[in-house]
Amino acid sequence: MYRFFSFLILFLIVSLHVEAQGPGAPERQLTVVRVNRPMGEQVQVERIAYFTEHIGLTPEEAQLFWPIYNEMDKKRTALFDERAAIIHKFMNDQQSLSDKQIDEQLKRLTAIQQEESMLPVEYDAKFRKVLSARKVMSLYVAEMGFRNYLLQTMRNRRPAENP
């Protein structure tokens, strides 16, 4: 389960582009820019094909499975985005934040982590209603395999560095 969340975090971090002002700038601001939509849509198409093949979803199972998986993924992404916003706010405004505000942000970060840790419990039960235990386990294996596939694809797309 830890690897699953590590993959999610890595995947979402890779999908973000972070820029900061140079050292001579009066204020350092951290800006998060989302990667263009077509890339995200292409990853989604590849994920659907990869999962369908590796889990062995029938058309009937896929029709029931994907809305549940997409709901889980949407919640997971929302939690990640909220966590990232809190961290970026702290990084950009830490000098102006009071200890009370920082304490509130820490409490929310802890709550977000707790919500993230409950997602697999909640959705495992939902997946088991539409898939066999074998296919649910295959889902978790496919998520890890897809992460590795994406990382390998990114490595292969990286231009060769000049020695």
Residue given tokens 């898939």 in the structure block: 131
Strand partners, 30: 20
> What is residue 26's DSSP assignment?
S
DSSP string, 52-65: HHHHT--HHHHHHH
11-25, 91-105, 122-136, range with the lowest pLDDT: 11-25
Per-residue confidence band for 153, with pLDDT thresholds at 50, 70 and 90: confident
Using the structure block, give the residue that is written with the tokens 């970060």: 109
- In tens, the pLDDT along 95-125 reads 899 999 999 999 999 999 999 999 999 999 9
- Better-scored residue on pLDDT, 19 or 57: 57
Whether the predicted model's global pTM rises above the 0.75 cut: no
